[in-house]
Amino acid sequence: RPSPEAQRPAARGAHSARAVGRPARPGQGGAAAAHEAGLGGAAAAHEARAMVLSLLPFPKVVVNLAQLGFPLQQLGELARSGTALTQLDYNQWTVYWVICALWMFVESTFLWFLVDWFPLFLEIKLCFFLWLAHPEYKGAAYLWYSYIKPWHEEFDKHYYPLVMSMIEQAKVPEAARAGAAAGPAAETDQSEAIND
C-alpha cells in the first residue's frame, strides 16, 4: 500500500476541494476545505486567514481617502483661497505628513497583522487621521505644540552647536572653492563645451 505522502499531488499549494474536482460542502471553507484537499500547514493557515472586521463599507478605501485624500483636499482649498500660510499651517501640515509617512511605514512593516486581527482597527485609524487633519481640531498642530516641540527644543539646544561646528570644519573641495572665488564672470557658455 502506498504511503499517504505518495498519494498526495505534487503541487499541493494549487489544490483545494474545487481544484481536485469536488465541490466544497455548504458551510465548509477555509481550513476545513484545505484540510480535506490534503493541504497542510501554511496552506491551511492561508486559507483560514481572518477577515477585516469593520462597520464601514469598503473600509480600506474609506480610510485611505481620509488619510490621504481629505488632507490633500484641505491643502488644495488653502492654496486656491490665495491666503498666505501661517506658522500654524506650516506646523500642522508638516507634522501631519511626517506622522502619515511614519504610520504607513510602521503599519506596513511591523503592524500589518492589526488590520486583519484587531477588530475595528480601521475605524480607530480613521478617527485618528481625521482628528489630525480636520480644520476644527488640527490634531497634528496640537501634537507639535504640546508634545513634540518641547522635546525638539531640548534636542536642538544640545545638538545644534555640535552639528554647526562639524559643518564649519568640513573641507570644501578645491574645485568648488576656485569656482566660488572666480564669481559669475567665470561662467562659460555650455553650448561651446558641448560642441567641443
- C-alpha count within 13 angstroms, C-beta hemisphere, residue 19: 13
Taking 80 as the threshold, does the pLDDT of residue 132 lie above it?
yes
Give CA–CA dist 170/150, Å, rounded. Answer: 30
Give CA–CA dist 68/73, Å, rounded. Answer: 9
pLDDT at 55: 86
pLDDT at 40: 52
What does the pLDDT look like over 144-195, one tens digit per residue?
Answer: 999 999 999 999 999 999 999 998 888 777 777 776 655 555 555 555 555 5
Taking 70 as the threshold, does the pLDDT of residue 30 lie above it?
no
Taking 90 as the threshold, does the pLDDT of residue 128 lie above it?
yes
Give one word for 27, left, alpha or beta, with left for phi > 0 and alpha for psi -120 to 50: left
Give CA–CA dist 23/28, Å, rounded. Answer: 10
Taking 70 as the threshold, does the pLDDT of residue 96 lie above it?
yes
Give CA–CA dist 85/88, Å, rounded. Answer: 8
Taking a C-beta distance cutoff of 8 angstroms, is the pair 171, 135 a contact? Answer: no
Higher pLDDT, 18 or 7: 7
